[in-house]
Amino acid sequence: MSSQVIELAPGNSINVLALTKAFPHRGRPLLAIDGLSLQVKRGEFVCIVGASGSGKSTLLSILAGLDRPTNGRADVKGHVSLMFQEAALLPWLTAAGNVELALELRGVSRPNRTRIAHDLLRRVHLGGFESRRPHELSGGMRQRVALARALAQDADVLLMDEPFASLDAISRDLLHEELERIWAQSGLTVLFVTHNPREAVRLGDRVLVFASRPGRIAHEIQIDLQRPRTLDSPDIAVIARRITDHLKQEMRGDGS
Amino acid sequence: MAAELVLAAETSERVEFAAPKLRTWGGRMWAWLWPKLVAVALMLGTWQLVVLSGWRPDYVLPGPATVFGRLATDLSHADFYVGVGVTLRRALTGYLMAVAIGASVGIVVAQVKVVRRAVGSAILGLQSMPSIAWFPLAILLFQQSETAIASVVVLGAAPAIAAGLLNGVDHVQPLLIRVGRVMGARGPALYRHVILPAALPSFIGGLKQGWAFAWRSLMAGEIIVIVANSASIGQQLQFAKDLADAEQLLAIMVVIFVIGVVIDTLFGALDRAVRVRWGLIEAAEQ
């Protein structure tokens, strides 16, 4: 994305240095992120948990190139793709059409597009649903199409902004498994934002707890649990409890 | 005996299976048709009642039967088709020009901020202008000519079409634009793949409204602007009035009404098809 790639430490996919982002708010600048620094190694799966107002989504927008930092640096090595809480599929295109559009914009030739799109949809277990339109799919299936579309962008870094927050528990469980499998196979770097400490521990190699107003990293927890993990394992519950305590502390410490 | 019974059972089952299907198809057709039939019946009934009341003599206000009889006679004359042809050709060329101009203006206004401030409100202003009010000026500028009619048709329809497109572009979900940008679509590619398709339902609304304005302007134009050697429908209507030929006048009004309804129905179907495809409304179960 950025031309400053050379200065990235070798092996790092994401390098954020003293990043500050301010938005105008009632005529005054309001700090969303204040002096944030963060490194993510290539192939690492990092989760960010934090209350609302901790600048998580802002960070992802900046990393995806949709927004500019006020100060500091945010460099990403390679192509970036971003997934949102809503699937945000184009409603006039079929499931395959949505994936194919990502391929087309990447410059994949027409004959290859259909084949690759069908392969990707099979990878997210949506074989047979290629010609369905988004409104004919369930929330979980839509999010899978969005995942297939993100993969179609041939990204090196996948940014995910609470992608499973609006799904039911079972769909979310299945998508956790699929995401973990795809991540393990592809060597993607993933930066995953969530409200849910268990989800963060379930998925991440590392969990960053963000403090709010302005957003910055309050705690960092390395997760060394064996993969594949299950959401309801006691080990995950213990670590998630610790993270929840941190979050509560942050919220109380904020004076609210 | 037993075999017959089995056969009978099979047949009746088959009938049972087939019947609901038939009912739903026929039922849907009927559900679509009956309000229209009732509307037509109500209209004809009211008309007939007014005639029967003796409010006006027959030669000024003939009943439906007389008028439809006259219409049948008209339908067997070549003049009638020539007239319909002239009118439809004008409608089509005027409308297509309006679409081309309206869509181009809409795109430019949507894209260029400076133009938008100035022209955006001008478009709304133009829309509020009754198109018939343009005719005196059009006649001064272009005399009694095809151009006078076409220019007013375009002025009537183009603003609605531009406004429809503009409205559609303005109300594209910001999230879809973000997705498009994440996928690497910038500038024209973003327009082609995300913004314009997202704006299509609203644009079709504008096209529909534009047609309604074009048709009204055209009828006004054909009555006001008399172009030599072109017995258009509107002109025939005007002649019928001048000759106090009430039967012919009403017969032509029926034709104008039918053309309007048919084209509105086509636009309605297009609008519906797009909305179903875009997931904005549920498709009727197949």
CA of A225 to nearest chain B CA: how many angstroms apart?
Answer: 33
CB contact under 8 A, A88 and B194: no
Of A66, A133, A135, the CB nearest to B178: A66
Q: Is the dihedral of CA A224, A229, A234, A239 positive or negative?
A: positive
Contact criterion met (CB below 8 Å) for B243 and B60: no
Instruction: Say if CB B189 and CB B127 are below 8 A apart.
Output: no
Which residues in chain A are closer than 8 Å to B175, comparing Cβ atoms?
Answer: 84, 86, 88
B194 interface with A at CB cutoff 8 Å = yes
Cβ neighbors of A61 (< 8 A, separation 6 or more) are A67, A82
* Chain B contact for A149 (CB, 8 A cutoff): yes
What's the residue count for chain A? 256
In sequence order, the 6+-apart residues with CB closer than 8 A to the CB of B58 are B51, B66
Residues of A in contact with B181 (CB under 8 A): 65-66
Q: Given a cut of 90, is residue B8 above it in pLDDT? A: no
pLDDT at B40: 92
- CB contact at 8 A, A9 and A39: yes
Most confident of the following: B122-126, B183-187, B214-218: B214-218
Closest chain B CA to residue A152: B183
Residue A223 to residue A230: CA distance in whole angstroms = 14
Q: Please identify which residue in the block is written with the tokens 């090196």.
A: A156
Residue B192 is classified by DSSP as I
Predicted confidence (pLDDT) at residue B217 exceeds the cutoff of 90 = yes
DSSP A149: H
Instruction: Give dist(CA A94, CA B76) in Å, integer.
Output: 50
With 80 as the cut, is the pLDDT of residue A212 above it?
no
* Higher-pLDDT residue of B20, B165: B165
Best of A58, A66, A135, A136 to substitute, by most chain B Cβ atoms within 10 angstroms, is A135
Residues B234 and B243: their CA atoms lie apart, in Å, by 14
Q: How far is CA B30 from CA B26, B33, B44, B62, B273, in A?
A: 6, 5, 20, 32, 20
- Catalogue the long-range contacts made by A30-34 (C-beta closer than 8 Å, 24 or more residues apart): A31/A213, A31/A214, A32/A58, A32/A214, A32/A215, A33/A58, A33/A59, A33/A214, A33/A215, A33/A216, A34/A214, A34/A215, A34/A216
Query: How long, in residues, is chain B?
Result: 286
Please report, rounded to a whole number, the percentage of residues in chain B having pLDDT higher than 70: 91
pLDDT at B100 over 90: yes
Residue A8 has pLDDT above 70, yes or no: no
B249-266 pLDDT tens trace: 999 999 999 999 999 999
- Find, among A119, A192, A179, A168, the residue nearest to A144 by Cα: A179
pLDDT (0 to 100) of residue B284: 54
Q: Which residues of A3-38 are buried (b: 16+ CB within 10 A; e: fewer)?
A: eeeeebeeebbbbbbebbbbeeeeeeeebbbbebeb
Distance CA A55, CA A39 (A): 17
Please tell me chain A's helix, strand, coil percentages from 3-state DSSP, rounded to the nearest 5. Answer: 40, 25, 35
A90, A98, A156, A158, best to mutate vs chain B, most B CBs in 10 Å: A90
* Cα dihedral B145/B151/B157/B161 (nearest 10): 140
How far apart CA B242 and CA B40 sit, in angstroms, is 28
- Find chain A residues with C-beta within 8 A of B279's C-beta: 91, 133-136
User: Which of B176, B184, B279 is nearest residue A133 as measured by Cβ atoms?
Assistant: B279
Cβ within 8 Å, pair B194-A90:
yes
Cβ A43 vs Cβ A188: under 8 Å: yes
| Angle, CA of B218, B221 and B224, to the nearest 5° | 155
Look at residue A3 and tell me whether its pLDDT is greater than 70.
no
Asked if B188 and B60 count as a contact pair (C-beta separation under 8 A), the reply is: no
Q: What is the pLDDT of residues B168-206, one digit of tens each?
A: 998 999 999 999 999 988 888 999 999 999 999 999 999
